[in-house]
Structure 1
Amino acid sequence: MAAGAGGKRGAAVVALLAIGLIASGCAGSGAQGAAASPPATASAGVRTVTTDAGALRTRFEGLARELGVPGAAMLVRTPQGQITATYGVTQVNGTTPVSLDDHFRIGSNTKTMTATVILQLVQEGRISLADKVAKYRPDVPNGSRITIEQLLTMRSGLANYTTTLALNTALDTQPQRAWNPEELVAMGLAEPPTFEPGDGWNYSNTNTVLLGLIAEQLEGKPLAEIFQERLFTPLGLRETTYPAVSDSTLPEPYSHGYMYSTNVDTMASNVLPPAQLAQAKAGTLLPSDTTRLNPSWAGAAGAGISTIRDLAHWVEALGSGAALGPALQKERLASVVPVPVPLPPLPDPQYGWGIAKIGPLYGHTGELPGYNSFMGYDPVQKLTIVVWTNLAPAADGRPPAATIATSLMKSIYGG
């Protein structure tokens, strides 16, 4: 799920996504046991999985090359071991190879963190899923009928601010602008609701930014501090951060991020026009460097930064319940239901309390201009898949990391 979700490219890129061109293809890899281990196979009555390190790396590298990403990384972990691989470089026309230590913008994977904080507050009795949003934000249209749970499940009907022309124009003309979350919410609330509360499903970043503001209201401190105290420190996520609104940097080492065209020009479609698509495939059209685009426009819905190992640790905690009590965790996993819109390439996507289910994996996807990532964890098989790319979307409109991860999932689970 991209922080700038809503089925659009650029700032508005990706619905439930929202889940190389110049690269030299210098694929590197590392494994702990998995490369030499026999395939992991499920026990009787459970879906069979097979993790062939060589086959997974070949599939990963082939798709990264086909999608034209400058760089990418993958991590697959099972009880039998870990398989990792890297592809390409951190910068177009550069020579620094991608590494597993590289920091990248995680986009809408941040939503799972915001939602987890809200659920912790539910667990502590400080807020209820049945509470009306108006109790905390009387300025929200239909707020007396929208519940906290509907914000978590994208069923509030509130419009998505990241699909507005105003935001996309600002991202193109003022890439370093620092956005206050109240500005973001105001843009979403100024748009007509898309449906009556509970009567539909619409992936809207307005929902999650509101939840972040409500968490700050209840805790009396910034969301960055809340994340650090409740999630990052307890779970040992030392390479994961939620930057200040004025901070457009990434910690070293990091990968640059790239996208084609502009946010406004690509609002209507993820796919480049035919002439530009041909140029991109030929290598005569280069993507723009979006690394320093200030991520504050994504706020609690997508401004986070992490590494592939930290993101794997986080999604394992998310799927196993390490951040919640057993009862509420069970309810959270049970909250996912099919979404009423097709979201290729994701197989049978479902959505619940700030968490997605993609095939057998619980997790999320994330996309910001220049970065795409996928994280998923199967609590039955204890299998983790994380992929990130430094191009988003691909020139042909596909979400690169989600496309690669879906292919890896098919290889592992079959079909």
Structure 2
Amino acid sequence: MALSLLAAACSDSGSESGSTTTSSAVTPVDQATMQSALESGAKEFLLPGAVALLRTPTGTVTATYGTTERGGGAPVTVGDHVRVGSNTKTWTSTVILQQAQEGKIALTDPVSKYRPDVPNGANITVEQLLNMRSGLFNYTETPELNSAMDTDPGRVWTPDQLLALAYPHPPYFPPGQGYHYSNTNYVLLGLIAEQLDAKPLPQIYRDRLFGPVGLTSTMFPDLADSGLPAPNSHGYFYGTNMLTIDNPALPADMQAAARNGTLAPADVTFDNPSWAWAAGSGISTADDLATWVEALTDGKVLSADMQQKRMASPEPTDPNNPSAAGYGWGIAKFGPMYGHTGELPGYNSFMGSDPVNHVTLVVWANLAPGVDGRDPASTIAKNLIGQMYPQ
């Protein structure tokens, strides 16, 4: 999920990652330009459907492409529900930061204080879970999970079963000594959030985030729930999880077959998403994602002090490339925009907001990843950002 995080897609516009200094001047695109960019990207990535939504001080512009089902179905609409993958991490991290404001937890606390089963947990801080610098192995990289997703897509996974996949593997690096995007971190944070609030995670999200922000079309499913509320868009996936476990790109012959129409993607809409849980099981719409990412960047869900620290938290994901996309406390920085991306088989989404120029962009696609391994929605978003910030 969201493995690329647009790391090579957007430069930092000349400011330090995490800085809240003035963004570059923005040139908003009009509806025709956005429609053209969406259609071009959708055709390039063989998408059945896609949506783009842009909010600026002058209003909202939307573009849609295709249908909710491959080869048929209803036309895609901005109100369609989709799986938003790792955008869910912004919910989980915000809950933890709210709990820190309330004195229930400190970001400097060792993870072992809440989960004594975590390997080397006495030396891993809560903050290192938030910013992907714990070193804990990513359970979604295990053959056990990927083969099970192929052979038993309806399987219901518990959070502890997911952690059990990760723990036997050695860490990527000592705590704080590197960066590696690991969903294990966010499953742990979800369990800690439940422990602190003494509530199930779906209720925590509703009480703390969805209700106060007014996200009426956003939800977090129970573990056994693999449905999508209406209206929704189906999600499609080429190949298998095991085939793409090490490289999301299909082999060259399969890419050619997909492009000439002799290889069809699988409909994975109703595969159970419990394997992603607090790291990526969320459901939303384009409009709700825009509302949420604005709340995330404008400080509507945190105190002023915590918000300032969060916005300063992203650091380059590639230490050898200071202009690479930054990642911090459950928030990424893409040039002038802050937000996140999300991907799981069948869906890819991007949400970003520039809090200085008050520009918000959301793009989703109902096929992911692309046959060449790229994230369709994130790539379309990159192109739109490039047009809005041409310098």
Q: Counterpart in 2 of 1:149?
A: 127
Q: Counterpart in 2 of 1:117?
A: 95
Q: Counterpart in 2 of 1:409?
A: 385
**What's the CA shift for 1:341?**
7.0
Q: Counterpart in 2 of 1:210?
A: 188
**Residues 18, 367 of structure 1: 8 Å contact kept:** no
Q: Counterpart in 1 of 2:177?
A: 199
Q: Runs in 1 of length 4+ with deviation above 2 angstroms?
A: 14-19
Q: 2:157 aligns with which of 179, 195, 202?
A: 179
Q: Name the Cα RMSD after superposition.
A: 1.5
What is the correspondence of 1:345-364 to structure 2 with a 5 Å cutoff?
348-364=324-340
**Residues 326, 333 of structure 2: 8 Å contact kept:** yes
**What's the CA shift for 1:16?**
2.9
Higher relative contact order (CA 8 A, sep 6+): 2
**Is 2:355 the partner of 1:366?**
no
**Is 2:372 the partner of 1:396?**
yes
**What's the CA shift for 1:228?**
0.3
**Is 2:26 the partner of 1:49?**
yes
Where 1:190 maps in the other structure, the secondary structure is coil
**Residues 254, 263 of structure 2: 8 Å contact kept:** yes
**Residues 16, 365 of structure 1: 8 Å contact kept:** yes
**Residues 72, 98 of structure 1: 8 Å contact kept:** yes
Change (3 A) 1:17 1:140: farther
How big is each residue's C-alpha offset from its partner over 1:292-337, in whole Å with a ceiling of 9 and x where there is no partner? 1100000100000000000000000001111001111000000111
Q: Counterpart in 2 of 1:158?
A: 136
**Quick one: distance in 2 between partners of 1:323 and 1:124?**
13
**Residues 106, 371 of structure 1: 8 Å contact kept:** yes
**Quick one: distance in 2 between partners of 1:342 and 1:299?**
32
**What's the CA shift for 1:348?**
2.8
How big is each residue's C-alpha offset from its partner over 1:326-379, in whole Å with a ceiling of 9 and x where there is no partner? 111000000111112799xxx730000011001110000000100000000000
**Quick one: distance in 2 between partners of 1:295 and 1:18?**
25
Q: Counterpart in 1 of 2:19?
A: none
Aligned residue type for 2:340: H
Q: Counterpart in 1 of 2:12?
A: none
**Quick one: distance in 2 between partners of 1:250 and 1:18?**
30
**Residues 34, 63 of structure 2: 8 Å contact kept:** no
Where 2:234 maps in the other structure, the secondary structure is coil
Q: 1:189 aligns with which of 159, 167, 180?
A: 167
Where 1:106 maps in the other structure, the secondary structure is strand
Q: Counterpart in 1 of 2:45?
A: 67
**Quick one: distance in 1 between partners of 2:196 and 2:71?**
47
Q: Counterpart in 2 of 1:108?
A: 86
**Residues 133, 143 of structure 1: 8 Å contact kept:** yes
Where 2:72 maps in the other structure, the secondary structure is coil
**What's the CA shift for 1:17?**
5.8
Where 1:197 maps in the other structure, the secondary structure is coil
**What's the CA shift for 1:157?**
0.6
Q: Counterpart in 2 of 1:275?
A: 253
**Is 2:280 the partner of 1:302?**
yes
**Residues 85, 279 of structure 2: 8 Å contact kept:** yes
Q: Counterpart in 2 of 1:377?
A: 353
**Quick one: distance in 1 between partners of 2:253 and 2:148?**
27
**Residues 24, 336 of structure 2: 8 Å contact kept:** no
Aligned residue type for 2:28: T
Aligned residue type for 1:292: F
Where 2:80 maps in the other structure, the secondary structure is coil
Where 1:125 maps in the other structure, the secondary structure is coil
Q: Counterpart in 2 of 1:311?
A: 289
**Residues 81, 284 of structure 2: 8 Å contact kept:** yes
Where 2:379 maps in the other structure, the secondary structure is helix
TM-score of the two chains, using structure 1 as the length reference: 0.88
**What's the CA shift for 1:52?**
2.7
**Residues 115, 121 of structure 2: 8 Å contact kept:** yes
**Quick one: distance in 1 between partners of 2:369 and 2:319?**
19
**Residues 17, 367 of structure 1: 8 Å contact kept:** no
Change (3 A) 1:342 1:282: farther
Where 1:386 maps in the other structure, the secondary structure is strand
Where 1:366 maps in the other structure, the secondary structure is strand
Q: Counterpart in 2 of 1:37?
A: none
Unaligned runs of 5+ in 2: 9-21
Where 2:5 maps in the other structure, the secondary structure is coil
**What's the CA shift for 1:191?**
1.3
Aligned residue type for 1:413: Y
**Quick one: distance in 1 between partners of 2:298 and 2:265?**
38
Change (3 A) 1:169 1:18: farther
**Quick one: distance in 1 between partners of 2:365 and 2:320?**
23
**What's the CA shift for 1:56?**
2.2
TM-score of the two chains, using structure 2 as the length reference: 0.94
How big is each residue's C-alpha offset from its partner over 1:108-163, in whole Å with a ceiling of 9 and x where there is no partner? 00000000000000000110000000100111111111000000000101000000
Q: Counterpart in 2 of 1:28?
A: none
Q: Counterpart in 2 of 1:287?
A: 265
Q: Counterpart in 2 of 1:258?
A: 236
Aligned residue type for 2:345: P
Aligned residue type for 2:25: T
**What's the CA shift for 1:59?**
1.5
**What's the CA shift for 1:275?**
1.3
Which moved further from structure 2: 182-191 or 134-143? 182-191
Which moved further from structure 2: 364-373 or 52-61? 52-61
**What's the CA shift for 1:18?**
9.6
**Quick one: distance in 2 between partners of 1:56 and 1:254?**
22
Aligned residue type for 1:48: A
What is the correspondence of 1:222-237 to structure 2 with a 5 Å cutoff?
222-237=200-215
**Quick one: distance in 2 between partners of 1:378 and 1:388?**
18
